[in-house]
Amino acid sequence: MNWLRKNLVVIIGLLVMAYILIPNLVVVVFSFNKPTGHFNYEWNQFSLDAWLDPCAAPGMCDSLGLSLWIGVVAAAVATVMGTMAAFALGRYRFPGRSSTNLLVFMPMATPEVVMGASLLTLFVSVGLESGTTTILIAHILFTVSFVITTVKARVASLDPALEQAAADLYATPAQAFWKVTFPLVAPGIAAGALLAFALSFDDYIVTNFNAGASTVTFPMFVWGASQRGIPVQIYVIGTVMFVGAVAIVGIAQAIGSRKRKVDA
Amino acid sequence: MALVVPGVRPVKRRAVRRWGTFTPLILLAPAMLWLTVFFVVPTFSLASQSLQTGDIDNGFVLTWHFQTYAEALGRYWPQFLRSLIYAGSATVITLLVGYPLAWFIAHRSGRFKTMLLVLVIAPFFTNFLIRTLAWQIILTDTGPVTGFFRATGLIHVLQWLGLVTSDALLYSPFAVISGLAYNFLPFMVLPLYTSLERLDLRYLDAAGDLYANGWNTFWKVIWPLSLPGVVSGTLLTFIPAAGDYINSKLLGNTQTVMIGQVIDAQFLRVLDYPTAAALSFILMATIIVMVGLYVRAAGTEELV
Amino acid sequence: MVEGATRKATGELRLVELFREYDDFVAVNGIDLDVPPGSFFALLGPSGCGKTTTLRMIAGLEEPTSGRIFLGTDDITNTRAHQRRVNTVFQSYALFPHLNIIDNVGFGLRQLKVANWKTKAMEALELVKLADRAKQKPRQLSGGMQQRVALARAIVNEPEILLLDEPLGALDLKLRREMQIELKRIQQEVGITFIHVTHDQEEAMTMADTVAVMRAGRIEQLGEPAALYDKPATAFVANFLGQSNLLPIEVTAVAGDRTTVASHGTSLVVESGAIPTEAPDGLRLGIRPEKLRLVSANDSVWTNKLSGEVTDASFNGVSTTYLVRMPWGQELTVTQPNDGTARATLGEQVTIAWDPHHAFVIGAD
């Protein structure tokens, strides 16, 4: 009884982890399925077909390439703009600072469907044709606020004495920035960039409003498939993305901890 | 002591800030321009759209037709209310299950901390839609989950609560809410984790020392200190959940339609732009008012 | 531009009519100061007195509103922080968390393009006895060690002047005492001019050879620690540097080097030289508690005597401190060494006495 009371939080925590991970496990398992019909809902037979020919589903790999490209470009632009703004907000006091913060917060507080709709009305009224450009504009818009928030937290937690110490030790303002400030803020920038990419890559609702008829991103392809029939290859991509993300972060962590050990 | 000594007043004054005053402006310019052109301007264009009349073939004219709002609300209030209820329920569930998980990761996971954090975030990288499709598989009629609910009689509890209408779990309010809760759970866990991780465990000893029992320690010490995390977590869950329609479309039925679905259909299929714009505005206004009241009630200024 | 690190240090600092004003208050209100080369100089004062602002202006981290700063004969007022051969030990140490200890210490040398920076940095670490920690990150070190790294990082550049901004503030008492001695040793070893900002009077007096007491943006008094302590010029200095008993006095007669004064009707003798020439009104006589003696009531040796009742006695080991109430209500503090003589008891009528040579006189504020 006492044991249960002490470890209740651990047990609940593990159960919730299971809740988070079971759908991913299902995705992994069903990537090896050989379904009977168009829909991959029931386990039928083990097969490597989808893994051996991941691009067999027509249009899927194109849409995947497009989504990766949009994700990278949107994340790059949002990270540059967001980082600049984060430095301004995290370190300077200036008139209009609080309304600027509000402007940054508002897109995060706006439901995607509203953002998608309002962008569409703008694009329609100025006659900008929907396509990759409009998707990029939209993705940069809803990721930049997340980048700003992430990087700003890092900038604000920086001790201003560090940069002064650099100046005191003969570093010009530019040298102080690149040798001290930037390396210290870099983890925040990396986190912001990764978040921006993930949000862009994952987005369906805003994209669907602004993609037009002929531009199909990966989430749009999945959506379409969920209506017509789901190719097993979708689960292969889901598995690769999941395992890849875990592996990348895992490797980064391992390198980080090894470096720490070497330092010590 | 005299503050001004004759003869030693500053002779020459130099501007202390120099061009540094313009630095924040230059740094802010690109992002703020982007947000203004593609967020503020569209918001106004949406506002204008909601007050126009006409149709897609003959074009829309701004006629200050406020009645669209009344008509839209009159027709779609059930979907609207449902969205708020579903999003609210999902938020409460994520808070209830996310809190123990965040505590577990922050203070009880030892050397597995980083790994667990990675596993909380990793589902993000599997597409949102793919994960929701996985829920279809999990809740399918012939699956073990449905079997479990039927065998234990829990299905009758859900029926009594109105969360399922038949003896199936899929395509029901239950499926939609659990899908929403699942999809937005990481948004709850991460801010909670950040707040709880910062919490010095010595506070608990101090509280115990001052004769607080477990429950009192939680309510009087841990909960208030984790409030910033609770506030940003609930906002990050509730706001996107209220506008979401993927869960209700993939896991629900015609009786679980949420407002996002209506807006999407009005815009992209019915092509009734004014109604869609009015609904968007009502949703946004409701969320802003609720967030404002909530943040004030929680007494924290730190947003996200 | 910065010249090579090998440049001969002059280490002489001169501040001329230095002002620093903010929107709503004046932080530094006209400072004129000469710091001789090789000295250990302390800027002492309560928080908000402008001492840190002064230090930051010398470092180049803050610009004066007006006035000049000279390093030797060079006017450095308009140069930036990175152009000044001045280094700072920051209050928070400000060690770069992403660099290990040797890279922290070598940061300035590498900026100065010193070829054998690594050897020099190791030497500096040896000086502060941390050579074995060179490869560690700052967060792996204790507060005291970080403090020494910050010191090494500054002195390794052989600056003309080393600025220390409350460098011992974050350390516990025992460590602080050790570091005071250590800092003094290092200063004598390297011979660089140290300017040390602190609010701790004991720290300033222990370490510095010259102390400037600051108040409200100005230097109130400047001198050697012993001179400041024994002959404070103002009530502020008298009370900031230890405790003082202050009695209002009026001059009644001057006879050579002895002046007779009256305080609350009692006639007292002071040295004529102690009376300030410029402020004859509102004079006060000051005596440190440890300069007062408890004597017998019919004593005839001491010239200056007052009688009162003991209202409080606290025993602190080496000494006992009494509060003695005077007939006019004022309580004087008297500290007696515990040298075996009888201790006074609460409520006892006692006579206190002092040597005129041990008293000082200050004018009105």
Chain centroid to CA C132: how far? 34
Whether A230 has its CB under 8 Å from any CB of chain B: the answer is: yes
Report the number of distinct structural domains present in chain C.
2
Of the pLDDT bands very low, low, confident and very high (cuts 50, 70, 90), residue B12 is very low
Q: Which residues of C touch A183 (CB under 8 A)?
A: 98
Contacts of A176 in chain C (CB under 8 A): 82
pLDDT, tens digit, for every residue of A8-33?
Answer: 888 999 999 998 899 999 999 989 98
Instruction: From C260, C246, C238, C243, select the one nearest C304 (Cα to Cα).
Output: C260
**Is C88's Cβ below 8 Å from some Cβ in A?**
yes
- Are C17 and C29 in the same domain? yes
Please state, as a whole number, how many other Cβ atoms lie within 10 Å of the Cβ of residue B299: 9
Given an 8 Å threshold on Cβ–Cβ distance, is B10 in contact with C365? no
**Closest to C333 (Cα-Cα) out of C343, C351, C321:** C321
The H or E element containing residue B46 is helix B41-50
Check if C17 contacts B (Cβ < 8 Å).
yes
Q: Which of B279, B285, B265, B267 is nearest to B60 (CA)?
A: B267
Contact residues on chain A for C107, CB-CB shorter than 8 A: 166, 169, 171, 179
Q: Is B9's pLDDT higher than 50? A: no
**C11 close contact with A: CB closer than 8 A:** no
Find the CB nearest A159 among C92, C107, C153: C92
Kindly determine whether residue A115 and residue B39, on different chains, have CB atoms separated by under 8 Å: yes
pLDDT in tens, B117-150: 888 888 877 888 898 989 988 998 888 888 888 9
**Statement: residue B18 has pLDDT above 60:** no
* Confidence category of residue B20, pLDDT binned at 50, 70, 90: low
* Nearest-10 crossing angle of helices B128-138, A233-263: 120
> Measured between CA atoms, how close is C350 to chain B, in angstroms?
38
3-state helix, strand, coil in chain A (%, to 5): 80, 0, 20
Residue of C nearest to B7 (CA): C17
More confident: B295 or C159: C159
Instruction: Answer whether B177's CB lies under 8 Å from B86's CB.
Output: yes
Q: Verify whether the Cβ–Cβ distance B39 to A21 is below 8 Å.
A: no
Tokens 């004495």 -> residue: A161
**Which of C222, C239, C256 lies at the terminal end of a domain, its last residue?**
C239
What pTM value is reported for the model?
0.81
Best CA proximity match to A61, nearest among A244, A231, A242 = A231
Instruction: Give dist(CA C24, CA B82) in Å, integer.
Output: 55
Beta carbons of B14 and C65 less than 8 Å apart: yes
Q: What parts of chain A have a pLDDT lower than 70?
A: 1, 38, 256-264
Tell whether A115 lies on the interface with B, counting CB pairs under 8 A. Answer: yes
Of B42, B105, B242, the CB nearest to A119: B42
Residues 8-67 of A with CB under 8 A from B: 9-10, 12-14, 16-17, 19-24, 26-27, 30, 40-42
Q: Which token pair is C115?
A: 């070829």
Test mutation, C3, C57, C61, C140, chain A, max A CBs within 10 A: C61
- Distance (Å) from the C-alpha of residue A262 to the closest C-alpha of chain B? 19
Give the phi and the psi of residue A236 in degrees, each rounded to 5: -60, -45
Q: Are C283 and C234 in contact (CB under 8 A)?
A: no
B13 pLDDT more than 90: no
* Mean pLDDT, residues B165-176 taken together: 90
Q: What is the CATH number of the domain that holds C118?
A: 3.40.50.300
Nearest partner of B178 among B160, B159, B164, judged by Cα: B164
Q: Are residues C232 and C284 in the same domain?
A: no
Please determine, for residue B1, whether its predicted confidence score (pLDDT) is greater than 50: no
| Rounded-to-integer distance, Cα A70 and Cα A72, Å | 6
- Statement to judge: residues C173 and C276 lie in one domain: no
Domain at B75-298: CATH code:
1.10.3720.10
Chain A residues with beta carbon closer than 8 angstroms to that of C100: 263
How far apart are the C-alpha atoms of C54 and C88, rounded to whole Å? 13
The neighbours of chain A, by the rule of 3 or more Cβ pairs under 8 Å, are B, C
Contact at CB, B13 and C66, closer than 8 angstroms:
yes
Q: How far apart are CA B116 and CA B102, in angstroms?
A: 10
Give me B144's structure tokens.
């073990």
Question: Do the Cβ atoms of C215 and B11 come within 8 Å?
Answer: no
Best to test chain C binding among A164, A169, A182 (most C CBs inside 10 Å):
A169
Domain assignment present for C199: yes
List the CATH number of the domain containing C339.
2.40.50.100
How far is C159 from A102, CA to CA, in rounded Å? 47
Determine the residue among A157, A158, A170 to mutate to test chain C binding: the one whose Cβ has the most chain C Cβ atoms within 10 Å.
A170
In a domain, C39, yes or no: yes
Best mutation target among B35, B50, B121 (most A Cβ atoms within 10 Å) is B35
pLDDT beneath 70: ranges in chain C: 1-9, 279-280, 365
Q: Are residues C57 and C111 in the same domain?
A: yes
- Are the beta carbons of A105 and B283 separated by less than 8 Å? no
Please check whether residues C28 and C78 belong to one and the same domain. Answer: yes
Which chains have at least 3 CB atom pairs separated by less than 8 Å from chain B? A, C
Same domain (yes/no): C52, C90: yes
Q: Are residues C97 and C116 in the same domain?
A: yes
Is A140 in Cβ contact with B283 (below 8 Å)? no
Is residue C232 domain-shared with residue C255, that is, in the same domain?
no
The verdict on C268 and C318 lying in the same domain is yes
CB contact B185 to A (< 8 Å):
yes
Which pLDDT score is estimated for C33?
93
Measured distance CA(B172)–CA(B251) in Å, rounded? 7
Could you please report the per-residue DSSP string of A200-250?
Answer: HHH--HHHHHHSTTT---HHHHHHHHHHH---THHHHHHHHHHHHHHHHHH
The per-residue pLDDT for C6 is: 38
Residue pair C233/C221 in contact by the 8 Å Cβ criterion: yes
What is the pLDDT averaged over residues B162-183? 90
* Domain architecture of chain A: domains with CATH: 62-224 (1.10.3720.10)
Per-residue pLDDT for B17 more than 70? Answer: no
The full 3-state SS of chain C, as one line of letters, equals: CCCCCCCCCCCCEEEEEEEEECCCCEEEEEEEEEECCCCEEEEECCCCCCHHHHHHHHHCCCCCCEEEEEECCEECCCCCHHHCCEEEECCCCCCCCCCCHHHHHHHHHHHCCCCCHHHHHHHHHHHCCCHHHCCCCHHHCCHHHHHHHHHHHHHCCCCCEEEEECCCCCCCHHHHHHHHHHHHHHHHHHCCEEEEEECCHHHHHHHCCEEEEEECCEEEEEECHHHHHHCCCCHHHHHHCCCCEEEECEEEEEECCEEEEEECCEEEEEEHHHCCCCCCCCCEEEECHHHCEEECCCCCCCCEEEEEEEEEEEECCCEEEEEEECCCCCEEEEEEECCCCCCCCCCCEEEEEECHHHEEEECCC
Q: How far apart are CA A103 and CA A85, in angstroms?
A: 12
Residue C49 domain-assigned? Answer: yes
C182 shares a domain with C313: no
C363–B contact, CB cutoff 8 A: no
- Residue A8 belongs to what H/E stretch? helix A2-30
- Among C187, C208, C239, the domain boundary falls at C239
Residues of C within 8 A of A166 (CB-CB) are 96, 107
Going from N- to C-terminal start, the domains of chain B cover 75-298
- Taking only residues 33 to 72 of chain C, the set having a beta carbon closer than 8 angstroms to any beta carbon of chain A reads 59-61
d(CA B177, CA B251): 9
CA distance A24 to chain B (A): 7
Q: Same structural domain for residues C232 and C289?
A: no
Compute the count of residue pairs across chains B and C with CB atoms less than 8 Å apart.
Answer: 24
pLDDT band (50, 70, 90) for residue B164: confident
Residue after which a domain boundary falls, among C223, C239, C255? C239
Which B residues, 13 through 72, put their C-beta within 8 Å of a C-beta on chain C? 13-14, 16
C250 and C231 co-located in one domain: no
- The answer to whether the CB atoms of B3 and C66 lie below 8 A apart is no
Contact C350, C310 (CB under 8 A): yes
Split at pLDDT 50, 70, 90, the class of B24 is: confident
Structural domain harbouring C354:
243-362
What does the alpha-carbon distance between residue B200 and residue A244 come to, in Å, rounded to a whole number? 34
Q: Which of C79, C82, C91, C113 is the mutation pick for testing A, counting most A CBs within 10 A?
A: C82
Task: State what percent of residues in chain C have pLDDT above 90.
Answer: 66
SS3 of A46, please? Answer: strand
Task: Identify the residue among A20, A148, A221 best suited for mutation to test binding to B, counting B beta carbons within 10 A and taking the highest.
Answer: A20
Give yes or no for A110 touching B (CB within 8 A).
yes
> What average pLDDT does this structure show over B247-261?
91
Give the residue among B304, B118, B112, B115 at the shortest CA–CA distance from A198.
Answer: B118
